[in-house]
Chains A and B, each alone.
Chain A
Amino acid sequence: MEDVMKEFAQLATDRPAELRRLKQQGKKVVAYIGHFVPEELLYAAGVEPYLICRGGEPEPPEAVLDDMLRFLNPLARSIAGFHLMGLDPVMPLADLIVASQPECHIQRIAELLEHKGLPVFKVGVPPNWDKAYAGEYYFRELEQLKDRLQELTGNAIADEKLREYIGYSNDINRALRKIDELRKRDSPPLGGYDFIHLNHHSFFTEPEVAVEKLHQVFAALEHAPARFPKNAPRILLAGHAVAVGDYLVVKNLEDSGALIATEMLDEGIRWYRWDTAVEGDPLRNLWRVRYLDKVPVNIFQPAWRDRFEHMRTLIGDYRIDGVVWYQLAYDEIYDMECTVIAKWLRDLKVPLLKLETSYEYSREATGPLNTKIESFVESLRRGR
C-alpha cells in the first residue's frame, strides 16, 4: 500500500515539471480554481489542467497584504500569495487561469491575479441555485468557457471526447467511493489523512492513470491490516477545504487516536459521491451534477438545511462520534454555518469541535491546537 501511495504521490509531485515539458512541446496549460470548473472540459479541450488549491503555509497569505486585507480566508490569499512569492510552479506558465466565482474571497483574489497581469477567465456561479435563471447563468458561463478553450487551442471540443473524460471522472469517483467504503469498517485500513491525500494526488495525475492508481490502492487496502483500533473515535471532518499541503490538523487528529471516517468539504476534495450522467448533452450533465445534484456548497442559498441533512446521513452511515468543523480564518459564511450546525448537532447530541486556521502553524499556535484536539478525542473516547 505504501509503495502505491508513494508512486501516486510522486506522480502528483512531478506534475508541474511535466507541465513545463509539455508546454515546451506546444501544449496549453490551464490552471483552474474551484470545483465549479469542470476538469473534464479542460481535458477534452486538449489542454493540461492544474488545480490551484495549495495552502497550509503561513507566508503566502501574508504576501498579498500589500494589496489586499487579511480578512480574506487564507486559502484564497494563498492562491495569489504563492504566485507573488514565486513559489507557484504552474501559474506563471499558465496560458489561462480559470477561476470559478461563487463568493467574494475568490472573486477579489481573481481580480488581484488580473491586476498582476495574469490571464484570468472567470466562471460566475450565482449562489441562488433555487432560481432556474441563476442555473442558466452558470450554464452559459460553462458554454463561454468551452468557447474560450476552443479559441485557446484552435480545436473544437467534441461531445464524445467530453463524455470520455466524464467517464474517467466517474471511474475516479467510483474508485474513491470503494476506498471510502473501507472507512466504514470497525477497524479500517485507512483514515482521512490518506483519503484526502488520494484525492489530492488524483487532481494532479492524468485521469486514466489516476483511475489505475486508485484501483491499485483499493486492491492493496482491501485485505490490508487495520490501521485504526476498533475503539478509535470516529470523526466527520467538515468545513470549507483541506488544501493541498494543509495536513497538520488532519494528521494531528489521527495521531491523537481519532479516525477521520468521512468528510464534508466544499473544496480540496473531489465531489466523488455524485457521478455525472454520460448520456445526453455532456456540458449540461457537467452543469447539472455541480449545480443541482450535489449537496449545495455553503455559499449557495438556501443551503444549510440540505447540508445538515447530508451531514446527518453521513453521521449515521459512518457511525460518527463527533464532528470537527475545520474553518479557514475570516471565512465569514462558514463561520455562520458552524453556529447553525452546532445548534442542530446539539439537538442530535453529537459533539462538535471548531478548529480555525490561518495557516499559522508555529509552535505557539500548534500547542493549544493539539491540546484542543487531544481533549476532544479523549472526550469522545470516554463518551463511547
Chain B
Amino acid sequence: MASTIYEEYLELGAYEGKERQRLLPQWIEAATRLGLTEKDMEFAVREWIPDMWDLKYLGIRKMIGAITREAIDHAHLMEHKKRGVKLVYGIIPAILTPYQAIKKAGGDKIFVSFPDMCLMNFLQPLFHKGAPLFELAEQAGLTYGCRHCALNKLRIGLRLKDVVPAPDIQWSFGLVCDEATKVDEFINCMYDDQWFAVITRLPHDTCLGEVDDEIPERVEYLAGAFKDAYEEVQRVTGIQVKEEHLAAASDDFQRYLGKTDVLTRLVGEADPQMLRGSELNNFCHPFSMPFNTGIEYMEDALDTMIEEVRREVANGTGDYPKGAPKIAAFFIPYAVPWVDKVFMDNGVATSFSLGMIPSEKQLIPPSHDDVYLNVAEQWLRMVFGMGCHTEVKTWIEKVNRVKVDGLLLGFFDYDRWIGQIHKLGAKEVEKATGVPTFYIEADFFDDRDYSQEALRTRIESISQVIKMRKAAREQGAVGQRGAA
C-alpha cells in the first residue's frame, strides 16, 4: 500500500514492491527538480490522469511507468555528466536508428536523449504542467507573441533550470523547421557556450511534380550530410558504432513498429472502440525519441496493451458506443489529451494519426546497400521530408486506406513548415476523398492559448457534422461540404 502521494503515483505507473521502494527517492528528487510539487502530484494522481487516461488497462499504467522511468533518468542528467557519461542529444523529428545504435555501442558510457521531447511527453500528458518551463523561456527572450514552438521553449527552460546540462554533442536534424536548430545557437549565445551542436539541414526546395526520394542527388546529398554528422558524433564521444549496433537498433525499431501497427489496427478497426487516439500515440514515443533506459519497458507496456485490446475485441466491449464515428488526425494531440476527451464526450472516437500510418512508399524496402542512403531515403519518404504537394497526396492515400468518418487537421500553427499546409491540405483531402476534413488552429503541445471551453463548441459542431454525415451515408444519401 502506497504511503505518500509520490508512491501512489508510482503505484499508478504499475511499479510494485522492492522496485517501487528503490525508485521512490529518485522519483521524489526528479519531481522536485522538474518543478512538480506535492500539490501537482495530488492533481495528477487524483484528477488529471484518471480523467485523461484509461487506467483500467494495465498496459496504460505500464506505459505511464515507462515514461516516468525515462523522465527520472533525465532529471539526473547532471549526475550522469559529472560521472563522465557522454551526452548525445537530438530533436524531433529524426530517424532514430543512428541514435539508438550509438546507445547500443556505448551502453552506460553514453546517455542518448531528446530531452525536450522526453520531458514534454512526461510533463504535459501526465501533469499538464509544461507551462512554467515555457514561461521561463518566454521571459528569457522567446517572446510569447511571436508564436515560438513550445518544444523549443521547453528545451531552453530545461537548460535554464539546470535540469539539462550542455551535451557533449547535440545532433539536430534541422530538416523540418528552422527554429529547432537555431535554438542550439540561441542557448550557446545566451547561456552556455559549451552547448555544442552539429546540424543536418536540407532546403525544402523540390518543385511541384518532383518526388523527394526519387531524386538521386537529393538522397545522396542527405546521406552524405547524415554520414558527416554521425561521424562527428562518434568522434566527439569516442564511441564507434559498428554494423551490428545499427542492425540491432534497426531490429528494435522494426519489431516495435510491427507491434504498434498491430495495436493501432486493432483499436482503429474495433467496434466498439477502446482507447483514445491520444493514448495510442503515447505508445508510439519510441518512434520520436530514443529511450536511454531502453525500449523494453515501453515494449512490455505495448505487449500488455495488445493483449488487453484483443480481449476487449473478443468480448465485444470497448469505451465508445458501438457504431461511434471515427476520426483520424494528422497527429492526435496527445500532449493535450483533453482534446480527444472532448471528442469522446461527444461520441466521436479519435483513432488513427496519419503520421503514424506508413504510406505505401514507406512500406517498400530500402533500395540501397549503404546505410546512410537508406536512412536518407527513409527520411524523404516521410511526410516531414517532402514538399507539400507530395505530402498531401500521401494524406489522401492514407485517408482512403483507413476509412474514417472524418479527418482533423491543425494543431501545428506554430510550426512554420508542418503547420502551414494544413488549411490548404484540408481542402485538397476533402476534395479527393469526400471525407469531411476539419481544421483547428491550435497548438499540439501548449494549450495556454485555448481552453477546453473555447474548443468545446468547435468540437461539438465538428462531431455533429460527422455524426450526421455518417448517418446520411448509412442511409445512402451522402452530401458534400467544404472543408471547415
Contact = CB atoms under 8 A, between A and B. Distances in A.
Interface in B40-61: none
A331 B420 CA distance: 14
A302 interface: yes
Contact of A68 (B174, B208, B423): B423
A338 B422 CA distance: 29
A309 to B, nearest CB: 12
Interface of B: 140-143, 145-148, 174, 177-179, 181-186, 188-190, 199-208, 217, 221, 224-225, 228, 387-389, 413-414, 416-417, 419-424, 427, 441
Contacts of B203: 101-102, 107, 122, 124-126, 137
23 contacts: A68-B424, A101-B205, A104-B417, A107-B204, A107-B205, A108-B204, A108-B421, A111-B421, A112-B424, A120-B208, A121-B207, A125-B203, A126-B201, A134-B201, A137-B221, A301-B199, A301-B201, A302-B185, A331-B146, A336-B142, A339-B140, A339-B186, A339-B190
A340 B183 CA distance: 11
B259 to A, nearest CB: 34
A97 to B, nearest CB: 11
A164 interface: no
B223 to A, nearest CB: 11
Interface string A315-359: 000000000000001111101101110110000000000001000
Contacts of A343: 189-190
Interface string A127-168: 110010110010011000000000000000000000000000
A65 to B, nearest CB: 8
A304 interface: yes
Nearest to B148: A332
A264 B115 CA distance: 35
A123 B225 CA distance: 19
4 pairs of A and B residues whose beta carbons are closest in the complex: A339-B141, A124-B203, A124-B205, A104-B416
A292 B221 CA distance: 20
A131 B414 CA distance: 29
A342 B189 CA distance: 11
A307 to B, nearest CB: 10
B202 A126 contact: yes
Interface string A63-102: 0011111011000000000000000000000000000011
Contact of A103 (B178, B202, B389, B427): B178
Given A330-B146, A332-B147, 20 more contacts: A65-B423, A67-B427, A69-B441, A71-B416, A104-B177, A105-B416, A108-B420, A111-B387, A111-B389, A114-B389, A122-B206, A124-B205, A126-B203, A133-B224, A301-B174, A301-B201, A302-B188, A304-B189, A336-B141, A336-B148
Interface of A: 65-69, 71-72, 101-105, 107-108, 111-112, 114-115, 120-128, 131, 133-134, 137, 140-141, 299, 301-305, 329-333, 335-336, 338-340, 342-343, 356
Contact of B181 (A101, A124, A301): A301
Contact of B420 (A72, A114, A128): A72
Contacts of B185: 301-304
Contact of A122 (B140, B207, B417): B207
Contact of A72 (B182, B208, B416): B416
Contact of B204 (A104, A299, A332): A104
B228 A131 contact: yes
A305 B424 contact: no
A120 B387 CA distance: 13
A46 B308 CA distance: 70
Contact of A340 (B186, B200, B427): B186
A123 B182 CA distance: 21
Given A105-B416, A299-B178, A335-B142, A340 B189 contact: yes
A128 B199 contact: yes
Nearest to B204: A107
A114 B207 contact: yes
A332 B424 contact: no
B226 to A, nearest CB: 11
Contacts of B424: 67-68, 112, 115
A107 to B, nearest CB: 4
Contacts of B224: 133
Contacts of A339: 140-143, 186, 190
B388 A108 contact: yes
A127 B201 CA distance: 7
| B147, B183, B441 pick with most chain A CB within 10 angstroms | B147
Contacts of A332: 146-148, 178-179, 416
Contacts of B179: 332-333, 336
Contacts of B388: 108, 111, 115
Contact of A67 (B186, B217, B423): B423
B423 A66 contact: yes
A330 B148 CA distance: 8
B416 A108 contact: yes
| A105, A111, A121 pick with most chain B CB within 10 angstroms | A111
A291 to B, nearest CB: 13
A339 B138 CA distance: 11
Nearest to B186: A336
Contacts of A103: 178, 416
A143 B414 CA distance: 35
B190 A69 contact: no
B420 A68 contact: yes
Contacts of B201: 126-128, 134, 301
Contacts of B146: 329-332, 335
B147 A71 contact: yes
A13 B297 CA distance: 67
A376 B405 CA distance: 57
B338 to A, nearest CB: 23
A71 B178 contact: no
A101 B413 contact: no
A111 B386 CA distance: 12
Contacts of B189: 304-305, 340, 343
A24 to B, nearest CB: 28
Contacts of B141: 336, 338-340, 342
A378 to B, nearest CB: 25
A299 B423 CA distance: 26
A135 to B, nearest CB: 12
Given A133-B221, A340-B190, A141 B421 contact: no
Contacts of A112: 424
A325 to B, nearest CB: 12
A332 B147 CA distance: 7
A226 to B, nearest CB: 39
| A101, A133, A134, A338 pick with most chain B CB within 10 angstroms | A134
B291 to A, nearest CB: 28
Contacts of A121: 207
A71 B387 contact: no
Nearest to A133: B224
B420 A301 contact: no
Nearest to A141: B205
A38 to B, nearest CB: 16
Contacts of A125: 203
Contacts of A342: 141
Contacts of B416: 71-72, 103-105, 108, 332
